[in-house]
Amino acid sequence: MFADIGADVYQSWSEEQRQAEIGKLVVGYRSGLPLTILLQMATAIAGSPDNAREHLAALIPATERHLIVGRLNGEEQSMAASFLM
Interior/surface letters 40-79, b for 16+ CB within 10 angstroms, e for the rest: ebbbbbbeeeebbbebbeebbeeeebeebbeeeeeeeeee
In a domain, 4, yes or no: no
In a domain, 2, yes or no: no
Are residues 69 and 82 in contact, defined by beta-carbon separation less than 8 angstroms? no
Residue 79 lies in domain: 10-84
In a domain, 1, yes or no: no
pTM: 0.87
In a domain, 80, yes or no: yes
The count of domains in the chain is 1
pLDDT by residue, tens only, the chain of 85 residues: 455 556 677 888 999 999 999 999 999 999 999 999 999 999 999 999 999 999 999 999 999 999 999 999 999 999 999 999 9
In a domain, 62, yes or no: yes
